[in-house]
């Protein structure tokens, strides 16, 4: 086991000193906020919230280029876009795969914006070499083999909370990555399942606030997947930032009505601009 943290505590001592089940991710173990740096201007965990924007899925080069230029001009710090989409139904659009990753990495250089994309299988690890940050989605939060193998690449990871996971399970999933020697983890509260069915998920601001006490890792919010509808994204985004969120990941599409994935919850350029002005 590799522990590369700024601390001299040994594996044995961690077990004794930190009473919680999660150790390396806890504030007890590491009292200062961890900063996860993508580049000099994009740092999670500091005073300035990091805004990630882009489509749920990469559909074509033309689509992504238009979105990348626009969200950057409006003020996004990073571009999102899924090449591999984990879908609840096998009949839904599951992404354009390898070609999507090649499109997003080319556009990143052309437009000058760092990128994040979701990995769904250890078989694809080599394809993610040119991505600045790797997303592990809600459906894979408990895929411990994937967590360890992605951790080993050493790149920053956005770890989304499982839709039915407790805070402890969420932090233990992050613990898998830190225990592997990769401290560059940003947590993401993306809404949980409750008895309430009137919106897609419930943005759990309690946990968003509590995690900042329990852990030194940065945490951001995903109001798009929490809400499941575009008209709730702005109020949820503002609420999350008020609760101390270190950033936001927002789905933005050039033509939400025609989007191949998550169009209902995607903001168009005007609404995204309005959100950024309000922040
Ligand atoms: C996504 O970011 O498009 C996604 C699939 O999110 P989640 O894993 O939170 O459902
Ligand atoms: Mn989505």
Which of 266-272's residues contact partners 24+ apart within 8 Å by CB, and which partners? 266/55, 266/56, 266/224, 266/230, 267/224, 267/230, 267/233, 268/230, 269/70, 269/71, 269/74, 271/230, 271/233, 271/234, 272/53, 272/71, 272/74
- Looking at the CA of residue 56, tell me the nearest atom of ligand 1: 3
Q: Which ligand is located closest to the Cα atom of residue 160?
A: 1
Domain assignment present for residue 188? The answer is yes
pTM of the model: 0.94
| Test site for ligand 1: of 87, 160, 221, 223, most ligand atoms within 8 A of the Cβ | 160
Model pLDDT for residues 237-258, shown as the tens digit of each residue: 999 999 999 999 999 999 999 9
- Check if 160 has its Cβ closer than 6 Å to any atom of ligand 1: yes
The pLDDT, as a whole number, for residue 9 is: 47
- Check if 246 has its Cβ closer than 6 Å to any atom of ligand 1: no
Of 206, 205, 211, 207, which Cα lies nearest the Cα of 223?
A: 205
Domain assignment present for residue 15? The answer is no
Domain count for the chain: 1
Q: In the predicted model, is pLDDT for residue 84 greater than 60?
A: yes
The pLDDT, as a whole number, for residue 13 is: 57
- Say how far apart CA 88 and CA 139 lie, in whole Å: 9
Model pLDDT for residues 130-151, shown as the tens digit of each residue: 999 999 999 999 999 999 999 9
Of 219, 185, 212, 176, which Cα lies nearest the Cα of 3?
A: 176
Of 41, 94, 65, 71, which Cα lies nearest the Cα of 249?
A: 71
Domain that holds residue 224: 26-278
Confidence of residue 15 (pLDDT cuts 50, 70, 90): low
CATH code at position 175: 3.20.20.70
Kindly state the percentage of the chain with pLDDT values over 90.
92
Domain assignment present for residue 186? The answer is yes
Domain assignment present for residue 195? The answer is yes
Q: In the predicted model, is pLDDT for residue 4 greater than 60?
A: no
């Amino acid at each position: 086991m590799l522990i590369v943290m700024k601390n001299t505590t040994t594996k044995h001592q961690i077990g004794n000193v930190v009473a919680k089940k999660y150790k390396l991710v806890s504030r007890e173990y590491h009292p200062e906020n961890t900063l996860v740096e993508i580049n000099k201007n994009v740092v999670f965990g500091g005073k300035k919230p990091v805004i990630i924007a882009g489509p749920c899925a990469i559909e074509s080069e033309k689509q992504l280029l238009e979105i990348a230029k626009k969200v950057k001009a409006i003020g996004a710090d990073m571009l999102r876009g899924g090449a591999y989409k984990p879908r609840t139904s096998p009949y839904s659009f599951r992404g354009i795969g390898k070609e999507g990753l090649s499109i997003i990495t080319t556009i990143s250089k052309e437009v000058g914006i760092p990128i994040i994309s979701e990995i769904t299988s250890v078989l694809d690890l080599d394809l993610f070499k040119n991505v600045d940050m790797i997303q592990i989605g809600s459906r894979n939060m408990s895929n411990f083999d994937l967590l360890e193998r992605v951790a080993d690449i050493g790149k920053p990871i956005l770890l989304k909370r499982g839709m039915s996971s407790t805070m402890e399970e969420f932090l233990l999933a992050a613990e898998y990555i830190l225990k592997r020697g990769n401290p560059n983890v940003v947590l993401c509260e993306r809404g949980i399942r409750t008895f309430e069915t009137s919106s897609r998920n419930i943005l759990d601001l309690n946990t968003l606030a509590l995690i900042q006490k329990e852990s030194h890792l940065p945490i951001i919010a995903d109001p798009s997947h929490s809400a499941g509808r575009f008209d709730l994204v702005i109020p949820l985004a503002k609420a999350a930032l008020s609760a101390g969120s270190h950033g936001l990941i927002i789905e933005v599409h050039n033509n939400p009505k025609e989007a191949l994935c998550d169009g209902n919850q995607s903001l168009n350029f005007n609404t995204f601009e309005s959100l950024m002005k309000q922040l």
